[in-house]
Amino acid sequence: MSIKFSKVNYIYALGSPLEKRGLNDVSFELTEGNFIAIIGHTGSGKSTLMQHFNALLKPTSGKISIAGYNIDNQTSNKHLKKLRKHVSLVFQFPEAQLFENTVIDDISFGPKNFGYSEEEAINLAKKWLKKVGLPEDISQKSPFDLSGGQMRRVAIAGVMAYEPDILCLDEPAAGLDPQAKEQMMKLFKEYQQEGHTVILVTHNMDDVAEYADDVLVMENGNLIKHASPDKVFEDNDWLQKHQVLKPTAATFADKLSNFTFDKKPLTLDKLVTDISKNLKR
């Protein structure tokens, strides 16, 4: 199955003096089961796009087909709960939405809400508490007594605990320390490799290179490129024109003018292999 956007437009505050275009005729087709990265400057429409995947926003015009559901301007809110079990969105700073008295109640809220029994929900919550790297003994604590990083993990566990087919993450690692960030990224990659779709908004081009199969580049509400990481980072002139940064490895490789690369290396591992090949020549 695929996720398809056909000429999706979104206008904030339509018809008011504050009218603002969020998405402009966005069309693409994504393969389910992939790891998809969405990149672009602040204000380019990434969060607006993300909120369309689970119909938190509905297109002002155009159509979306996702997980067997069709969404357009006329879609009624009645049918959306089922969709949201399959397609979940983790907002930027999701810790702001914690609300239960204990960590375990907060994480099991989602599974319960989507029809799991009390016992199943608690078991899922325990499983995901561990998966996001939190110790079991915090399960009875108030989420508000935790550190910011721990709160973030609780919030992410709360969405992963009902194991949505399509997991959408809006800058989930923003503000985390580098080690926590890497753990999170590995968790998302593992989740995708177990047979789910992951859609991630990020500013980190190293993560795009390392984890993504497919990339959407947004600019001013327009989709300006949809391609593999290799293709997105191929053309230096295009990157410069649109002020898209390169992965660290690619920047490094471009400075090694005496070296030849069959294909621009995007990850540190690939860079090291290519450099040693050059040195052996």
Ligand X SMILES: Nc1ncnc2c1ncn2[C@@H]1O[C@H](COP(=O)(O)OP(=O)(O)O)[C@@H](O)[C@H]1O
What is the C-alpha separation between 166 and 41, in angstroms, rounded? 24
Q: Is 44 in the site for Mg ion (CB under 5 A)?
A: no
Enumerate binding residues for ligand X (CB under 6 A): 12-13, 20, 22, 40, 42-48
Distance, in Å, from the CA atom of 124 to the CA atom of 158, rounded to the nearest integer, reads 9
| Residue 48 near which of ligand X, Mg ion, none (CB within 5-8 Å, type-dependent) | ligand X
Q: Which long-range contacts (CB under 8 A, 24 or more apart) does 12-18 make?
A: 14/60
Q: CB under 5 A: which stretch of 41-49, 58-66, 253-261, 263-271 binds Mg ion? A: 41-49
Among 198, 196, 197, 195, CA closest to 185 = 198
Residue count, binding to Mg ion (CB under 5 A): 2
Give residue number: closest CB to Mg ion: 47
Does residue 197 touch Mg ion according to CB under 5 A?
no
Q: Which does 130 bind (CB under 5 to 8 A by kind): ligand X, Mg ion, none?
A: none
Of 18 and 279, which has the nearer Cβ to ligand X?
Answer: 18
Cβ 172 to Mg ion shortest distance, Å? 12
Q: Shortest distance, CB of residue 232 to ligand X, whole angstroms?
A: 17
**Closer by beta carbon to ligand X, 45 or else 143:** 45
Nearer to ligand X, 71 or 125 (CB): 71
- 12 or 261: CB nearest ligand X: 12
If the CB atoms of residues 10 and 162 are measured against ligand X, the closer one turns out to be: 10
Q: What are phi and psi of 115, to 5 degrees?
A: 100, 0
From the list Mg ion, ligand X, none, pick the one residue 62 interacts with, judged by a Cβ distance below 5 to 8 Å according to partner type.
Answer: none
The tokens for 189 are 């990659």
Binding positions for Mg ion, 114-173, rule CB under 5 A:
none
Q: How far apart are CA 11 and CA 197, in angstroms?
A: 27
Nearer to ligand X (CB atom), residue 64 or residue 103: 64
CA distance linking residue 106 with residue 125, whole number of Å: 9
Q: Where are the alpha helices (DSSP H) in the chain?
A: 46-53, 80-86, 103-113, 118-131, 148-160, 178-193, 205-211, 229-232, 236-241, 248-255, 268-280
| Closer to ligand X by Cβ: residue 161 or 169 | 169
Q: How far is the CB of 155 from ligand X (least distance, A)?
A: 18
Could you tell me which of 208, 201, 172 has the C-alpha nearest to residue 52?
201
The piece of 44-52, 175-183, 231-239, 265-273 that touches Mg ion (CB under 5 A) is 44-52
Residue 202 contacts residue 171 (beta carbons within 8 Å): yes
Closest Cα to residue 87, out of 174, 179, 186, 197?
197
H or E segment at 14?
A: none
Tell me how far, at minimum, the Cβ of 216 lies from Mg ion, in Å.
13
Cβ atoms of 70 and 63 closer than 8 Å? yes
Decide if residue 47 touches Mg ion (CB under 5 A).
Answer: yes
Whole-number minimum distance, CB 34 to ligand X, in Å? 21
- Provide the binding-site residues for Mg ion, judged by CB under 5 A: 46-47
